[in-house]
Amino acid sequence: MNLKKILVRPVRSIEEQRFQQLMQEHHYLGALPKISETLWYLATLDDQWIALLSFSAPALKCSARDRWIGWNFRHQYDRLKLLTNNSPFLILPDWHFPNLASRILSLSQKRLPVDWRTVFGHPIVLLETFVDPQRFQGTIYKAANWIYVGDSKGFRRTRQGYSATAQSPKMVFVKPLISNVQRLLSRPVLEPYYRTGGPKIMLNAQEIKSLPSFFADIPDPRRKQGLRHQLPTVLAIAAAATLCGMRGYLAISDWAKSLGQKARERFGCRYENRRYIVPSMSTIRDVLVRVDPKHLDYALQRWNQTYAQQDKSLAIDGKTMCNAIDDQGYQTHIMSVVGHQTKTCYTQKKSAPYP
């Protein structure tokens, strides 16, 4: 076989059904749907399909990978988009030849960064994959110079959070796409080219559990009759979702629904039928619209003073709100104080009006 004649390209829309059928027939995981950011690739030789690959969103947490990167827990969530996961990888029957798999991996990882930025609008710097040692030994990844960084703990993500018991630990391999990738991902502030959106952080169990207490003194603007969710719980969930990068009522609500039972308990969610229930989107919206913003701002400042990282310097930023006119007919201007290192907004105030 002439390995130089092999081509790797993205799967076209009209080819996706065949791609899924072959995965279902020949891969032990079967056909996997596209979830979040996903690219499917096809390797061909003289127009014949010889291999299929998929690259998608990385694991939210993986201790072996995270230790190897060395990134800060607070930075991790914001930078996950710079990673992508290779799963699955299928060499089709009758095409198992020496060096074929490593050649296909090499070709795919060469074009993947450009394709990813073209389709999703941001770069990637590190590939990861998980290998089941009960089935494989990761030989093709070792041959392609991927780095074995350890084993996963064996927990898998479910709709309820994570599985209660460890199942089958996987071998974890990574492949840097740039030099000094560990240094890049672990530095306090990313270069502008690698920033993928607004600042986000991850919250640990103690920070989640403490959030409702900071909102306990805020007066509840709702009628007491028929209340199903306590005000501190609703505000804590909304604040945590926003800190984790969610924007808008729907995104906050979806984030709340994705919480596991342990996290819901820490937020103080209502317990009903042996399950903790999160507030609905309409409840979250109603509370955020009606609560006093000054009280909310003060509570968030107190939480930030307790848990946020220290910024070495602050920046003052001014914005003019489009289509926002006050009672005097002036446009609304907002002044914000933002930390240089953490990108945390410490406070926002409406500035003096002017025409």
Token representation of residue 207: 């920070």
- The answer on 242 and 318 residing in a single domain is no
Largest CA distance in the chain: 78
**Is 15 a domain residue?**
yes
CATH classification at residue 57: 3.40.630.30
- The answer on 110 and 24 residing in a single domain is yes
- The answer on 110 and 255 residing in a single domain is no
| Residue whose tokens read 């930023």 | 317
pLDDT at 340 over 60: no
- The answer on 74 and 178 residing in a single domain is yes
- The answer on 268 and 171 residing in a single domain is no
**Is 199 a domain residue?**
no
Q: What is residue 28's predicted lDDT score, i.e. its pLDDT?
A: 81
Instruction: Write the DSSP string, 144-155.
Output: TT-EEEEE--S-
- The answer on 323 and 288 residing in a single domain is no
- The answer on 116 and 28 residing in a single domain is yes
Query: What is the distance, to the nearest Å, from the Cα of residue 274 to the centroid of all Cα atoms in its chain?
Result: 29
pLDDT at 175 over 90: yes
Instruction: Determine the Cα–Cα distance for residues 28 and 15; give it in Å rounded to an integer.
Output: 21
Q: At what angle do helices 293-307 and 205-214 cross, to 10 degrees?
A: 150
Instruction: Determine the Cα–Cα distance for residues 54 and 104; give it in Å rounded to an integer.
Output: 12
Instruction: Determine the Cα–Cα distance for residues 158 and 167; give it in Å rounded to an integer.
Output: 13
**Is 288 a domain residue?**
yes
Token representation of residue 155: 């927990």
Element (H, E) at 53: strand 48-56
Q: What are phi and psi of 7, to 5 degrees?
A: -120, 145
Q: How many CB atoms lie within 10 A of CB 340?
A: 13
- The answer on 289 and 177 residing in a single domain is no
**Is 144 a domain residue?**
yes
- The answer on 168 and 38 residing in a single domain is yes
Q: What is residue 162's predicted lDDT score, i.e. its pLDDT?
A: 45
- The answer on 100 and 7 residing in a single domain is yes
Predicted confidence (pLDDT) per residue in 317-330, tens digit = 556 655 555 556 66
Give the angle subtended at the CA of 279 by the CAs of 274 and 283, to the nearest 5°: 150
221 with 290: CB under 8 angstroms?
Answer: yes
Domain range for residue 301?
Answer: 205-308
Final residue in a domain of this structure, among 148, 167, 194: 194
**Is 347 a domain residue?**
yes
Q: What is residue 159's predicted lDDT score, i.e. its pLDDT?
A: 44
Q: What is residue 300's predicted lDDT score, i.e. its pLDDT?
A: 81
Give the angle subtended at the CA of 193 by the CAs of 191 and 194, to the nearest 5°: 75
Give the count of domains, the chain. Answer: 3
Predicted confidence (pLDDT) per residue in 267-325, tens digit = 989 898 888 999 899 888 888 888 888 888 888 888 877 776 555 555 555 566 555 55
| Residue whose tokens read 């074995």 | 148
Tally the C-alpha atoms within 13 A of residue 211's C-alpha that lie toward its C-beta.
29
321 with 332: CB under 8 angstroms?
Answer: yes
Predicted confidence (pLDDT) per residue in 223-240, tens digit = 887 788 889 999 989 888
210 with 307: CB under 8 angstroms?
Answer: yes
**Is 11 a domain residue?**
yes
pLDDT band at 160 (very low <50, low <70, confident <90, very high): very low
This prediction has a pTM of 0.58
Query: Which residues contact residue 95 at a Cβ distance below 8 angstroms, ignoring those fewer than 6 apart?
Result: 45, 50, 51
Average pLDDT over residues 261-265: 88
Average pLDDT over residues 113-125: 91
User: Of 164, 137, 160, 163, whose CA–CA distance to 148 is shortest?
Assistant: 137
